Amino acid sequence: MVYGRPRRPVPFRPNNIGRPRRPFTNSQPSNISSLMSHFQTSDGKLDFSKISTTAGHMKKIYGQVSPLLSMFLKK
């Protein structure tokens, strides 16, 4: 225990009081379309070589990270 000046108690305040509510919007279609726009050519067609390259990179990253994650997730 550290001695010094006493700490002031923090007043209880529920999370929802004092914060304005944001309207619920379903932004999933715009997120998917913006994600897919990264894999399109300039004429709007899907670039399958870019998709396969990205999938290969993700596979490499998973191969490097999965042993580390398994150490933390062991029961």
Tell me the sheet residues that pair with 46: 40
| Distance between CA atoms of residues 54 and 15, nearest Å | 40
A 10 A CB-CB count for 66 gives 11
| Distance between CA atoms of residues 58 and 52, nearest Å | 10
Model pLDDT, residue 27: 56
- pTM to 2 decimals? 0.51
**Over its length of 75 residues, how does the chain's per-residue pLDDT go in tens digits?**
556 666 777 666 666 555 666 666 655 567 777 888 889 998 989 999 999 999 999 999 999 999 988 888 875
Backbone angles phi, psi at 21, to 5 degrees: -80, 140
Residue with tokens 């993700």: 58
DSSP state of 61: H
